[in-house]
Chain A
Amino acid sequence: MAKLKVGQAAPTIELKTLEGDVVALDSLWGNGRFDRLNTKHSTLLIFLRHLA
């Protein structure tokens, strides 16, 4: 399994919410879009281990 490194493009995968809505990961980091204040968003993805 290849390690993801800093500086690489983050993979975009389609996941779902618990309500069943499909969310593509790249929609979270805005595809390069800026918000109205022209500040950039970052996204912190926390992958859980098992749900203990």
Chain B
Amino acid sequence: MASHRQAFEALNTNVVTISFGIAYWARMWLQETQSPFPFLVDPERNAYHAYGLQSSILRSWMPQNLWFYAKATLQGREKFGKRGDPHQLGGDFIVDSQGIVRLAHPSKEPTDRPSVEKLLQVLNQ
């Protein structure tokens, strides 16, 4: 996502990252990812709930996710249970200047995210 920062800026789009994690892990994530985008915290998950984002044990442990986590663990990237609820799903939303949702993509499972191309397509509409 960070590598497409200029594309989003060219489309006059603010990119904001939101997490429910505690500040310690949030700072570690920012240090690891060097994400250039503003970062907001939602420890009570009020925004997660308002945007319809669910926590799902079943969908979090589907076979493709187990494979993803296995690779991440072998690479030393995955810290189960230490960085927050592993079952909370994320999502992506585009909101226009009138406050109207133009894209709503709650993740069906942890790796389910819209492509950057899809995001740019919606922003170009």
Tell me the A residues contacting B by CB distance below 8 Å. 1-13, 15-18, 23, 25-26, 28-35, 39-52
Contacts and interface: CB of A to CB of B under 8 A. Distances in A.
B26 A18 contact: yes
Given A2-B52, A11-B50, A43-B16, A50 B21 contact: yes
Interface of B: 1, 8, 11-21, 23, 25-30, 37-42, 46-54, 72, 77-79, 83-86, 88-104, 106-107, 110, 119, 123
B92 A47 contact: yes
Nearest to B29: A51
Nearest to A31: B99
Given A1-B52, A5-B104, A47-B48, A34 B16 contact: no
Contacts of B27: 18
A48 B97 contact: no
B90 A46 contact: yes
